[in-house]
Amino acid sequence: MKKLRVAIIGQGRSGRNIHGKFFKSADNDFCEVVCIVEADEFRRNRAAEEFGCDTVADYTELFGRKDIDLVVNASFSHMHYPITKDLLNHGFSVLSEKPFGRSYYECLDLIHTAEKQGVTLAAFHQSLLSPAFLNVKKIIASGKLGDVLQINLKYSGFARRWDWQTLQSRCAGGLYNTGPHPVGQALDLLGWDTDTAVAYSSMKTVLTSGDGDDYAKVILQAPHKPTVDIEVISADAFAGDYVFKIYGSKGTLCSTNSSYKLKYVEDFSAYPARPVTAVPLSDENGNPIYCSEKLTFTEVDEKISGSSFDVAVRDFYRMMYDAIFEGKPLAIPPEHAAQVIGIIEACHAENPLPVRFD
């Protein structure tokens, strides 16, 4: 089997611990790392030992090479756009880490550049392929929940940060760092409706040492679609009860990334509609009673195998392989990643935070 020859820019947590980890795993039999780009000498030397490949200090040293099918841009967030554009203009196919860019304009510029150069471009939205998220979509499609009324996505915890990913100057903060996951999933559940708008947003700097947001509340709405409530909050000490919560006319789905609970009424025809009455309800003795009925629920409580950091990474790279070698369309096209950034950009415009660091 022909292997996808990959160069990775960056050996930080993403470049080494997500992309690099997959390439070294037993799940990978179709990709080969041929070069690592890393400015830090220690990390560069370590990468040479771990991958047994070429290493260079600057991505421009890749220019002119013909043995690279895909460059993974896992550089600092604020460098995603300029480095990706430079690579595209030099004829490379590129997989950019999230965020795809700082603005919708930057994303569209990358898309147009890739089209002009005839190369493949994607943003690493692997959470759209996570087993938990695919399970959510499967249950919604089954009709067991009835009409979906509201979708809640919660990517929260309680933690303080003081690294570069807290700085607005680095295109960071919670909504740019973590937000692409729930925002992308929200837009996917809304069918990537281009009429989706930010109905409400609130962003604050609470616990972080930097000047980026670590509190973000976003409500999305699209015509005739469910309301979506997104939270990316670093001040939630009770986080973990769910990542996805779907409210439907027949029941509710509550899911983390490792398990889910489903509770629904299979057939409401077994419960004839009650005629409305303006008369207070009473029991047989004339005592006032609460309006209620006993419903029989079907309940499911199951584990989920795989995550965004193993199964989803493998499937994302298989998608890239098929796109580059077989010309198949990307299931997660860059236009979708641009739409995600458009939502995040709108939230920042509505909630400008003071810039305190260069």
Q: Say yes or no: 106 and 147 in one domain.
A: no
Q: Say yes or no: 41 and 87 in one domain.
A: yes
| Chain length of the chain | 358
Q: How far apart are the C-alpha atoms of 54 and 287, rounded to whole Å?
A: 83
Residue 207, class by beta-carbon neighbours within 10 Å (0-12 exposed, 13-18 middle, 19+ buried)? middle
What is the reported pLDDT for 10? 97
Q: Say yes or no: 255 and 324 in one domain.
A: no
| CA-wise closest residue to 308 among 93, 6, 21, 7 | 21
CA distances to 276, 293, 322 from 286, in Å: 19, 18, 71
Q: How far apart are the C-alpha atoms of 150 and 327, rounded to whole Å?
A: 37
CATH number of the domain within which 59 lies: 3.40.50.720
Q: Say yes or no: 293 and 188 in one domain.
A: yes
Q: How far apart are the C-alpha atoms of 343 and 350, rounded to whole Å?
A: 11
CATH number of the domain within which 260 lies: 3.30.360.10
Q: Say yes or no: 144 and 214 in one domain.
A: yes
Within a domain: 358: no
pTM score, whole prediction: 0.95
The model's confidence at residue 218, banded by pLDDT at 50, 70 and 90, is: very high
Q: What are all long-range contacts of 24-31, with beta carbons under 8 Å and residues at least 24 apart?
A: 24/50, 24/51, 25/310, 27/310, 27/314, 28/314, 28/317, 29/1, 30/1, 30/3, 30/4, 30/317, 30/318, 30/321, 31/3, 31/4, 31/5, 31/6, 31/317, 31/321
Q: pLDDT per residue over 305-325, tens digit each?
A: 999 999 999 999 999 999 999
The model's confidence at residue 126, banded by pLDDT at 50, 70 and 90, is: very high
What is the reported pLDDT for 1? 79
Within a domain: 53: yes
Sequence-distant (6+) residues with CB within 8 A of 277 are: none
Q: pLDDT per residue over 154-200, tens digit each?
A: 999 999 999 999 999 999 999 999 999 999 999 999 999 999 999 99
Q: Say yes or no: 17 and 97 in one domain.
A: yes
What is the reported pLDDT for 272? 87
Q: Say yes or no: 51 and 142 in one domain.
A: no
Within a domain: 293: yes
Inter-residue contact 97 to 74 (CB < 8 Å)? yes
The model's confidence at residue 26, banded by pLDDT at 50, 70 and 90, is: very high
- The answer, yes or no, to whether residue 90 has pLDDT greater than 90, is yes
Q: Say yes or no: 113 and 158 in one domain.
A: no
Q: How far apart are the C-alpha atoms of 154 and 190, rounded to whole Å?
A: 17
Q: Can you give the residue range of the structural domain that contains 90?
A: 4-124+310-329
Q: pLDDT per residue over 219-260, tens digit each?
A: 999 999 999 999 999 999 999 899 999 999 999 999 999 999
Within a domain: 158: yes
Q: Say yes or no: 118 and 180 in one domain.
A: no
The model's confidence at residue 51, banded by pLDDT at 50, 70 and 90, is: very high
Q: pLDDT per residue over 27-41, tens digit each?
A: 999 999 999 999 999
Residue type, 97: E
Q: Say yes or no: 320 and 288 in one domain.
A: no
Q: Say yes or no: 245 and 314 in one domain.
A: no
How many structural domains does the chain have?
A: 2
The model's confidence at residue 205, banded by pLDDT at 50, 70 and 90, is: very high
Mean local confidence (pLDDT), 14-29: 96
What is the reported pLDDT for 132? 98
Q: pLDDT per residue over 269-297, tens digit each?
A: 889 888 999 999 999 999 999 999 899 99
What is the reported pLDDT for 345? 98
